[in-house]
Amino acid sequence: MNKIVFIAAAIIVFSGYTFAQKGIDKQTTTIKEQTNTSKTANDSGQTYSWGKDKTKIRKLLDNPFTLNSRRDVLIETIVDQLKNKNLIIDEAASRFDDGLIVTQPFTFSKGAILTKTELNRYAVIPDTDSTWTRGRYSLTIEVKSLDGIKNNVYVTAKVEGRSGNGLFTEWSTLQSTGIAEDEFLSELAQSVTGDVSEGERRP
């Protein structure tokens, strides 16, 4: 009888040990799987090339911007550049002999949906309840000769937005962000030197 009790007790103890061992094995397997998953995620993350396709950003060009060219040739290049941008020269306000070129207002945006976004790019928009329906700018370009070859080109943009509040509409002069000036200067420099880097412009 004692033998039977002893054998039964031994079987119970052995079974408990085996069950506990299986529990440990399952926990070990789970930990290994989680570790492998984490390692795989980390390994795959190492293959990413962060910044490879990141948008290029450059600062605005100096304004005035110095260009090497004969003054008369540079003014002709500026006139051609304005025509390419569909900017009409204000003949009455311009003085070519003095290196002064003024354009008529160029409307770059129409409609309430797009105008606020485009206008916000070219100008600092005041915080008002007005609805912006159009945006335009005119350029004043001055060419100052430094010597027989070097010239300083200074560009000023007059940015305007048309707004309304339901009763009336009006054009308001806004502070330029410098983007309109930089767009023209960079295209002009590209035409003269071909060395201006491309990229998103940031004031």
Tokens 């070097």 identify what position? 150
- Going from the C-alpha of 29 to that of each of 42, 68, 141, the distances in angstroms are 20, 72, 74
* pLDDT tens-digit map of 4-52: 544 545 455 445 544 444 454 455 455 445 545 444 444 444 433 444 5
Residue 130, pLDDT score: 83
Structure pTM? 0.68
Residue 200, pLDDT score: 45
164 vs 170: CA distance, rounded Å: 7
* pLDDT tens-digit map of 110-151: 998 999 999 999 999 988 878 999 999 999 999 999 988 899
Peptide bond into 105 cis (omega under 30): no
Taking the alpha carbons of 74, 80, 86, 92 in that order, is the dihedral positive or negative? positive
Q: String of b and e for 12-48 (b: at least 16 CB within 10 Å)?
A: eeeeeeeeeeeeeeeeeeeeeeeeeeeeeeeeeeeee
Q: What fold is seen in the domain 57-202?
A: TATA-Binding Protein (3.30.310)
Residue spans of the domains in the chain: they are 1-51, 57-202
